[in-house]
Amino acid sequence: MDMSDQEILDDIGRRNDIRREAFLPLLGVEKEFRRIKELKEESERARKFEEFSEPLKQRIREKVLARMRREKNDFNWNPTGVLSGGGLLFSALVNATL
């Protein structure tokens, strides 16, 4: 969901109204506005990177798989399972390479 600056300010105001009713400390408007804007920017960067890197993923998966097979000296090895099957490590290596 893409929020305009005014929508962000309105949302902070609504959240502060709820906090006031609950006798909780209010959010600093500037600090919270900046935090939300940074989250939006990071989300946009992540989306653009995902879009950019998608065509490369299969090639990188193949290269990482070949390297892991050589290291294990098992040329039929496939990442199965999350922990004991090496799937988590394999995914982490692919993402780190990207």
CA pair distance 83, 59, nearest whole angstrom: 23
pTM of the model: 0.60
Tens of pLDDT, residue by residue over 42-83, are: 999 999 998 988 889 889 999 999 998 998 898 888 888 777
Domain boundaries, the chain: 5-97
Tens of pLDDT, residue by residue over 37-52, are: 999 999 999 999 989 8
Half-sphere exposure of 9 (CA within 13 A, CB side): 4
